[in-house]
Each structure stands twice: as structure tokens, then as C-alpha cells.
């Protein structure tokens, strides 16, 4: 958890915070902090309490106990307008105004600065235009909010928060309803805001691979408690992620941020001669078809190993940067003999993997069918 001294000097911090509904505690002892320009991401299973924490920080829910500080001031003592000048909030909302244009919707983010009459100045309009450009939504500015897609609406929510010019931005699953391109753009926007403008970002994400890449610190939320809190290097090491999500089948690879499914059971039906990433599509296709397989001979630092290890019934690896020895070759030949067919994935050959071509020749000499493409593999398995 965040040390008390870090919380006291943070732009936003929580101390001894307990969140819940109607005074009933859900998660207790929440202590975290966000310094200037930091990105803090909450991850965890569905229903674990991430949104409840964010709503409490945003003062949409009253804390059951504890303290939330903005620039050292207790959030309870700040007015709504004072908070709005410091913090922008983008929570999961699906209610859309019927007769409001996208421009008008985004301009509502200028409320903390427009006074009681809500009149936009040239500075306000410039902020709205900038925010729309930032999220690539300028072309829909004059359309009604009721006419746009969920992805476009999500970008509008971000734009409304951006034009508020906050020091802190709180977002609940901001990548929901966005395709891959717009997820990338959104995270680049948030990263850019944190780096160039010093904005502190606190958000929840379902995509833990994205959380690993963008976050300075990660909060692991697990129902009734904070299971872990630390840097991505700390969180994505060991068993933290499998324990958080209760992954007891399959395998999560922290290095690649990938979840692999459970290996097929049964005797080996094929041998894959892979390497340099070329074997990965074959390993996954075999897993989808429920075909047990063996793979090799790979060096342990080959990217193929990260996928082959959880999916293969048998994996043969050399020592790092060392060629295969005779015992490994004999083991591979025995597995080829036991296989119905052999896959040659097309890995480039070099000094340390010349054994691959020898194994291919051995398989051909034993009359084994050689498969070289995913299409051929599907034909063999059909």
C-alpha cells in the first residue's frame, strides 16, 4: 500500500479509505496516491469494486470511512466547483441527451469556468475545439449525440473531460466500446496528457496488457480488499495476476501480456519444428482443435517458448545459446516416430538451430506427412 508520506505529498491520495453502499463496507484500508503526471490503473475481476472506488474518489459516493485528499485538502471540505477545476470524471454512463449536439455536450466540460449563465467565451470555445481535435471527433461536432455510435460517444466523454483542463482525470473503463485503433489513440492521449501537461490519471481497465504498458502503478482490486499495489514490474511478476483473477486453468504470460488456454490432453499426435515466433500460430491452432503436440528443439529465450510451454504436451529446449546435444536429438526423433505428422513452421536456420533441418529430413525419411501452412494443417485435421 502507499506510504502515508507519499499520500500527504500527492496530488490525489486516499488513506484508510473504506468504500461501500449505504454505509455497508465493501473494500477497506484503501491507500494509494497519484503524483503529478502519474497514471494509476485499477484492475481486477468484474464486480470486484473498481467502479465503487472510482465513484467514491469522484465524490459520487460517500466514503464509509477514511480520507480522500486533493493537493493535501480533504475532499469533503471542497465545493463542487472547486473539485471540478481540479478533477474531471468519466464514468460508465449510457444516458444520452436527445437534443444536444456533440459540441454542446463537450462544452459542458467548461461549466467550472463559465459562471452561472454558462456563456462560452472565446477561450472556452478554443478549449472545446482543442478537445474535439484531440480525440478525433471534430467531424461529428454538429451531429446530435443520439445519432452517434458507442465508440464515438466514448470519445466525446473523454473530450468533455479534457476541455475541463483538469489536474486529475478519473476514468472508468475508458476503452470500452472502442476498437483497437481508438483504444491505442485514447491511451496515447492519456499518456500524452500525463507527460506533457502533468495530468494525474486514475482509471480502471479490463485489458491488463494495456494496463501493464501504460501505468506507473497498478491497484489490484479483489472484492473485499486490495490484493496488491505496486509498479507493473512488481504486479506482473510471479502469481499476482493468476491469483487476482483466479486463473487455475491455462497460463498467463506476464512478459507478453497474453493468456494461453489449457493444453490438450492425451498422447502426442504431432511434432512441431518451430522457432522465432513461426510456431506460435500452429501451437494455437492445435490447441483450438484439441490436438496434443510436442515442440522443439528451441532455445529457452525463443519467443516460441512462451506459447509452447503452456500448450505443448512435451517441449524440448536447449541451454541458452547452445546447440542441441545428441540426447535432445534422440528425444525429438522418438517424438517424431510417435507422431501422425510433423509441422515445419519455416523458422530461419542459423548456427544454433541447424538441428531443425536434420529433424525435418528424419521425419521425411520415416514417411511422416510434413505440414508447412495453417491451411494444410486444417486439411489434415478435417
Q: State the pLDDT confidence band at 68, using cuts at 50, 70 and 90.
A: very high
Please say whether the beta carbons of 260 and 241 come within 8 A: no
Considering the domain architecture, whether residues 268 and 352 belong to the same structural domain is answered as yes
pLDDT in tens, 236-255: 877 888 888 887 655 666 66
Residue range(s) defining the domain that contains residue 166: 4-245
For residues 90 and 152, state if they share a domain.
Answer: yes
Confidence of residue 286 (pLDDT cuts 50, 70, 90): very high
Of the listed ranges 22-36, 54-68, 85-99, 208-222, the one predicted with least confidence: 85-99
Order of strands across the sheet with 217-222?
87-90, 168-172, 200-204, 39-43, 217-222, 225-230
Residues 223 and 270 in one domain: no
In a domain, 252, yes or no: no
C-alpha grid cell, residue 71: 493537493
User: Can you tell me the distance from the alpha carbon of 199 to that of 213, in angstroms, rounded to the nearest whole number?
Assistant: 18
Last residue of a domain, one of 219, 245, 271: 245
Residue 103 lies in a domain: yes
Instruction: Return the CATH number at 267.
Output: 3.40.50.20
Q: What is the pLDDT of residue 218?
A: 94
Task: Provide the pLDDT confidence category of residue 256 given band limits of 50, 70 and 90.
Answer: low
* 271 and 357 co-located in one domain: yes
pLDDT of residue 5: 47
Task: Name the pLDDT band for 258 (thresholds 50, 70, 90).
Answer: low
Shared domain for 178 and 226, answered yes or no, is: yes
| Percent of all residues in the chain with a pLDDT value above 90, rounded to a whole number | 45
Residue 274 vs residue 189, higher pLDDT: 274
Quick one: pLDDT band at residue 3, thresholds 50, 70, 90?
very low
205 and 227 share one domain: yes
The CA-atom distances, in angstroms, between 14 and each of 8, 281, 360 are 9, 45, 61
Q: Which residue has the cell 471542497?
A: 78
pLDDT score for 263:
83
Domain CATH for 63:
3.40.50.300
Helix (H) or strand (E) holding 336: helix 326-338
Residue 252's SS3 state is strand
φ/ψ of residue 178, rounded to 5: -100, 145
pLDDT at 375: 93
Segment 54-82 mean pLDDT: 91
Query: Taking Cα atoms as reference points, which of 50, 54, 53, 57 lies closest to residue 74?
Result: 57
State how many domains the chain has. 2
pLDDT of residue 288: 86
Mean pLDDT of 301-313: 88
Q: What is the CA angle 178-154-254, rounded to 5?
A: 45
The residue among 245, 280, 314 that closes a domain is 245
> Quick one: 8 and 108 in the same domain?
yes
The number of beta carbons lying within 10 Å of the beta carbon of residue 261 is 13
Q: Does pLDDT of 116 surpass 80?
A: no
Whether the per-residue pLDDT at 162 is higher than 50: the answer is yes
Residue 181 resides in a domain: yes
Amino acid at each position: 500500500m502507499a506510504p502515508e508520506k507519499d499520500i500527504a505529498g500527492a496530488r490525489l491520495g486516499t488513506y484508510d479509505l473504506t468504500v461501500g453502499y449505504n454505509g455497508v463496507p465493501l473494500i477497506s484500508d484503501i491507500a494509494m496516491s497519484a503524483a503529478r503526471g502519474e497514471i494509476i490503473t485499477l484492475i481486477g475481476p468484474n464486480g470486484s469494486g473498481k467502479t465503487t472506488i472510482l465513484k467514491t474518489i469522484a465524490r459520487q459516493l460517500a466514503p464509509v470511512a477514511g480520507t480522500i485528499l486533493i493537493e493535501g485538502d480533504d475532499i469533503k471540505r471542497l465545493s463542487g466547483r472547486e473539485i471540478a477545476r481540479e478533477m474531471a470524471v468519466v464514468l460508465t454512463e449510457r444516458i444520452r441527451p436527445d437534443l444536444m449536439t456533440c459540441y454542446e455536450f463537450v462544452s459542458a466540460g467548461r461549466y467550472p469556468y463559465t459562471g452561472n449563465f454558462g456563456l462560452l467565451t472565446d477561450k472556452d470555445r478554443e478549449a472545446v475545439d482543442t478537445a474535439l481535435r484531440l480525440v478525433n471527433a471534430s467531424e461529428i461536432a454538429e451531429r446530435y449525440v443520439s445519432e452517434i455510435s458507442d465508440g464515438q460517444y466514448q470519445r466525446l466523454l473523454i473530450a468533455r473531460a479534457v476541455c475541463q483542463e483538469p489536474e486529475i482525470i478519473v476514468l472508468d473503463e475508458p476503452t470500452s466500446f472502442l476498437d483497437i485503433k481508438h483504444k491505442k489513440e485514447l491511451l496515447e492521449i492519456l499518456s500524452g496528457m500525463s507527460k506533457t501537461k502533468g495530468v494525474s490519471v486514475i482509471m480502471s481497465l479490463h485489458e491488463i496488457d494495456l494496463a501493464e504498458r501504460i501505468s506507473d502503478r497498478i491497484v489490484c482490486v479483489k472484492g473485499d480488499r486490495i490484493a496488491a499495489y505496486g509498479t507493473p514490474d512488481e504486479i506482473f511478476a510471479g502469481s499476482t495476476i493468476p491469483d487476482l483473477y483466479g486463473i487455475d486453468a491455462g497460463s498467463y504470460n506476464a512478459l507478453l501480456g497474453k493468456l494461453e488456454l489449457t493444453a490438450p490432453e492425451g498422447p502426442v499426435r504431432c511434432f512441431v519444428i518451430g522457432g522465432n515466433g513461426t510456431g506460435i500460430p500452429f501451437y494455437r491452432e492445435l490447441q483450438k482443435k484439441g490436438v496434443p503436440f510436442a515442440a522443439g528443439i528451441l532455445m529457452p529465450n525463443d519467443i516460441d517458448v512462451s506459447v509452447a510451454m503452456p500448450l505443448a504436451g512435451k517441449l524440448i529446449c536447449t541451454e541458452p545459446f547452445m546447440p542441441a546435444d545428441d540426447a535432445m536429438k534422440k528425444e525429438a526423433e522418438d517424438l517424431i516416430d510417435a507422431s501422425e505428422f510433423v509441422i515445419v513452421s519455416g523458422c530461419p536456420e542459423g548456427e544454433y538451430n541447424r538441428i531443425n533441418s536434420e529433424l525435418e529430413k528424419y521425419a521425411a525419411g520415416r514417411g511422416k506427412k510434413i505440414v508447412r501452412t495453417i491451411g494444410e494443417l486444417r486439411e489434415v485435421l478435417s
